[in-house]
Amino acid sequence: MRAELHCHSIYSRGTKVPIEGLNRPREIVAHARKLGMKILALTDHDTMEGVREAMKEARKLGILLVPGEEVSTQQGHVLALGITEPVKSGRDILETIEDIHEQGGVAIAAHPFDLRRKGC
Quick: pLDDT tens for 33-69.
999 999 999 999 999 999 999 999 999 999 999 999 9
Average pLDDT, whole number, for the chain? 91
Give the number of other Cβ atoms within 10 Å of residue 78's Cβ. Answer: 25
- Quote the CA–CA distance of 85 and 69 in Å, as a whole number: 10
Query: Which whole-number Å values give the CA distances from 80 to 20, 28, 35, in the listed order?
Result: 18, 19, 24
Domains and CATH numbers, the chain: 2-109 (3.20.20.140)
Q: Which tens digits make up the pLDDT trace of 69-107?
A: 999 999 999 999 999 999 999 999 999 999 999 999 999
